[in-house]
Amino acid sequence: METVQGLKRTKYCGEFRAADIGSEATVFGWVQKVRNLGGLLFIDLRDRTGLLQCTFDESVDKALFDKAFPVRGEYVLAVKGVIRPRGEAAVNDRMPTGAVELLANELRILNTAKTPPFEIVENTSVNEELRLKYRYLDLRRPDLAKNILLRSKTYKSVRDYFADEGFIEIETPVLMKSTPEGARDYLVPSRVHPGKFYALPQSPQQYKQILMVSGFDRYIQIARCFRDEDLRADRQPDFTQIDLEMSFVDRDDIIAVNEGLLKKVWKDILGLDIEMPFMRLTYKEAMERFGSDKPDLRFGLELTDLTDTLKGCEFKVFAGAIEAGGSVRCITVKGGFDKLSRKEIDALAEYVKTYRAKGLAWVRMGEEMTSSFAKFLKPEELSALLVAAKAEKGDVVLIVADADKVVFDSLGALRGEVARRLDLIDKSLYKFLWVTEFPLLEFDEEAGRFVAMHHPFTSPMDEDLPLLDTDPGKVRAKAYDIVLNGYEIGGGSIRIYNSELQSRMFSLLGFTKEQAKARFGFLMDAFEYGAPPHGGLAFGLDRLVMLLAGCGNIRDVIAFPKVQNASELMSGAPDFVDDVQLDELSIALTRKEED
RNA sequence: GGCCCGGUAGUUCAGUUGGUUUAGAACGCUAGCCUGUCACGCUAGAGGUCGAGGGUUCGAGCCCCUUCCGGGUCGCCA
């Protein structure tokens, strides 16, 4: 094993160009590939920037050639030599450094390596489980390395923006008090206080509001957050937020600051000028037009409400849903006749059942019209339906009748599924959207009470304040989400800053005064010492980077992600700990995984 | 917790209604030859508890049951 003593890197491997011809160079890296032609040996050396071909010629330096001979893939090398042109026939146009090569005059084998369990190449089809177990090798692959570099650039862009806008970066504790509303907390036992636990933050929400009371009126933090809930392609239990809070502002001030942020990030990272201001929809509009509070606006397929048209019809499926207070809605797939066969519609019917729809009624408008339900409707009812749905020859109408929530969930999801199947999505588009005026509360059937849709510190809209006592379900909140291409990339609200209103909120949510005081007392106390009007927003940084990187999976932009059962395959976390360690924490286990 | 998909050399895959003796291919790996390759080429070679356990059968990679692992998703995610 040799050392790097006396060597200094001239440039990264991927940075050499024709302009460097004739210069001396020293590079460090990993062996991508050895091509030994017998007497002439090429080594492609890789670092995080790319590849450089290093050449060893037996006829020039026999001893050096012999030293390079046993080099294998992923060995760690230092190579010193002269950059020279490859010669016309030997230029490789497919690589950025393809016009040059490093003719070696010194080689140090800094380390050997075992043959990796998979090849270190771009666009791999290797099973993700194996890649995650050997994450250090996976991260050597250019596509993954590129994502990690892009993420780093994003941090810089974000920090630069907020610094320029007068924001102050402040760290809040990772060990904090458990806040039982909302997601499950990760708990950390206290050694010093037997039986007591810290919680890891689901977000720095209360701390940042306290910072507003303290007068740091523009706060930002790139904050690690933790939620002990099940994973998804776009959800990890251990994730990162761009968290911000501002005082003396209203909703539109916060929206403006964050549109500015996204504009800068898209320019810095992708070189794109995004259109401002962004589109806005109220929650109600978003649900009625797209069946979702995070609609993908890259395609149409908007929902149509058929409830009034079908009121009084005899078809039980429709009539029953309407009588029960639900609705009948559809999406009309223009030109869908050629693309959606009976069989494919059956598959879509199965798809909507995962969203609790009982079925999917349909009309196919070919030469002859066929439908799953036409015989149950009077001819004039059917034609009224088709007029309302704006359905013409060649179209397909897909209908769900049920409670509003089921209709919206299933048609909202179906919109996306149809768009994917019919390839209606232009992947080059970035469609940003603000969704505003979310409901303040939603009724939790299981708990038998209202719960905060956003969180309990969200301010109701002023004009809806009178409804708080009479019809709390109708109260809208000063809450807003930022949506991009069907993903919720951030959300926030104007907060309650009046301790009296905050108390009313807590009692609406079913807390007794004592419970509220025990859980949130420090915040309510703080609000009695001059809380400014304030509000903020938090972005899901991982999701944002995922969309910037153009991947559909959050794991590909996180260096060491967790898998679906929340374990980490490389380190093997979580794991059992020694009894001694448990005893020190005053913890006795009632269950183990093996039981 | 529910539903769907997947698991066969190091890797990616093929493997017929359950029956061709020794489960194949490509890439990778090892060795030899080769001076302009870059998907180097040529020759030879090594490499498999078919995720695991049980069952059906004269016979199981293939059928059945259980289970483990990974992915997607519903619930869940203030």
pLDDT tens figures, A288-337: 999 999 999 999 999 999 999 999 999 999 999 999 999 999 999 999 99
CA of A39 to C1' of B47 (A): 30
Least Cα distance to A417 among A353, A374, A370, A368 occurs for A353
Per-residue pLDDT at A181 exceeds 80? no
Per-residue pLDDT at A593 exceeds 80? no
Across residues A211-219, what is the average pLDDT? 97
CA distance A481 to A282: 10
CA distance A534 to A350: 46
Long-range contacts of residues A283-288, Cβ cutoff 8 Å, at least 24 apart: A283/A435, A283/A436, A283/A437, A283/A438, A283/A439, A283/A476, A284/A437, A286/A433, A286/A435, A287/A408, A287/A412
Q: What is the ipTM of this complex?
A: 0.93
Q: What is the pLDDT of residue A180?
A: 74
Q: Which nucleotides of B are covered by protein (CB under 7 A)?
A: 1-2, 10-13, 27-30, 33-41, 69-78
Q: Which residue is nearest to the C1' sugar atom of B6, using CA? A: A127
Per-residue pLDDT at A595 exceeds 70? no
Reported confidence tier of residue A57, pLDDT bands at 50, 70, 90: very high
Cβ proximity of A127 and A110 under 8 Å: no
CA of A115 to C1' of B23 (A): 26
Scanning every strand, the nucleotide with its C1' closest to A202's CA turns out to be: B78
Respond yes or no on whether the N-terminal peptide bond of residue A574 is cis (omega within 30° of 0). yes
* Residue A367: DSSP 8-state: S
Cβ proximity of A428 and A274 under 8 Å: no
Scanning every strand, the nucleotide with its C1' closest to A95's CA turns out to be: B38
Q: What is the pLDDT of residue A594?
A: 56
Across residues A57-65, what is the average pLDDT? 96
CA of A123 to C1' of B24 (A): 26
